Structure 1
Amino acid sequence: MNPTPCPCGRTSANPQGQALTFDACCGPCHAGIAAPDAESLMRSRYSAFVCGDIPYLLATWHSSQRPVNLALEAGAKWLGLSIKQHRITGQDTAEVEFIARFRVGGKATRQHELSRFVREDGRWFYVDGDVL
């Protein structure tokens, strides 16, 4: 059991708003359980960036847009994720607007993106996104 807070920063619904552990939040998705919605998949993908889990990132990328391989920014320190909006756009499509903060070589960066997701055979996949 992994008692550390989940990198995605999701908090519990209780009044204290305590951070969920990785095992209670993104861990099940990384273990192969389908994300219940696009926002959960987005959060689990952020956690995968933090953990350097390239196989998970590729597996959750829709086959129409998936790169052959993926190299993560060396030395990136992930600082936090903020979900601005999760919008259902169709029966099996959704969008998630987020801001991911990270630092590379001492320089702070914000990735503000509107990402598109599709559900196929009960599983959500990241398709692509627009940097805002």
Structure 2
Amino acid sequence: MAGSKRTPRARACPCGSPSYAECCGPIHDGKPAPDPEALMRSRFSAFALDLSDYVLHSWHPEHRPPELESDPALRWVRLEVLESTGGGLFDAEGFVEFRAHYRDGGTPGVMTERSTFVRHDGRWVYQGPV
């Protein structure tokens, strides 16, 4: 699923982890996210790396848009996970509250969201904001 010209195999992960290859890289390549927080981090990294196919694939099919349009002026630059609940081995849903920092045409901005993640066909997917 990876395959962007911006994929940083040998450096820090856009989600804030020291290593893309040990963090979001394997999830972008098809390894299931072990919990909602890992999926949230992988989605943020996918937005940062312009991996729209992965973002769509990680969205619940009943809630995902038909396509995503890339905005070359928008850059996702930093993720803060504020809280992560649920998403354990026997849970069917989990929640992640986060702050995503971006630059839009050079102007900084922040998006805050509390997201719902659910199990669908045996894997975690993003359902939407709470």
The answer to whether the superposition gives a TM-score over 0.5 is yes
* 1:122 correspondence with 2:129: no
Q: Give the letter for the 1:66 counterpart.
A: R
Q: How far is 1:72 from its partner? A: 2.8
More displaced, 30-39 or 121-130? 121-130
Q: Structure 2: state its 5+ residue gaps.
A: 1-7
More displaced, 70-79 or 110-119? 70-79
* Partners of 2:84 and 2:71 in 1: CA distance: 26
Whether the 8 Å CA contact 1:34–1:122 is kept in 2: the answer is no
Match of 1:35 in 2: 33
More displaced, 87-96 or 40-49? 87-96
Identify which of 9, 12, 23 aligns with 1:5. Answer: 12
Match of 1:15 in 2: none
Q: Give the letter for the 2:70 counterpart.
A: L
Match of 1:16 in 2: none
More displaced, 52-61 or 68-77? 68-77
Match of 1:24 in 2: 22
Q: How far is 1:107 from its partner? A: 1.5
Q: How far is 1:121 from its partner? A: 3.1
Q: How many residues align?
A: 121
Whether the 8 Å CA contact 2:60–2:120 is kept in 1: the answer is no
* Partners of 2:85 and 2:39 in 1: CA distance: 13
* 1:46 correspondence with 2:44: yes
Q: Give the letter for the 2:113 counterpart.
A: E
Q: Give the letter for the 2:75 counterpart.
A: K
Match of 1:13 in 2: none
Q: Percent identity?
A: 40
Alpha-carbon RMSD = 1.6
Whether the 8 Å CA contact 1:92–1:118 is kept in 2: the answer is yes
Match of 1:87 in 2: 85
**Deviating 4+ runs (over 3 angstroms):** none
- The SS at the match of 2:22 is coil
* Partners of 2:71 and 2:116 in 1: CA distance: 22
Give CA-to-partner distance per residue, 1:64-95, whole Å, 9 cap, x none: 10111111333112220000000117821000
* Partners of 2:108 and 2:10 in 1: CA distance: 28
- The SS at the match of 2:126 is strand
- The SS at the match of 2:62 is coil
- The SS at the match of 1:49 is helix
- The SS at the match of 1:23 is helix
Q: How far is 1:41 from its partner? A: 0.2
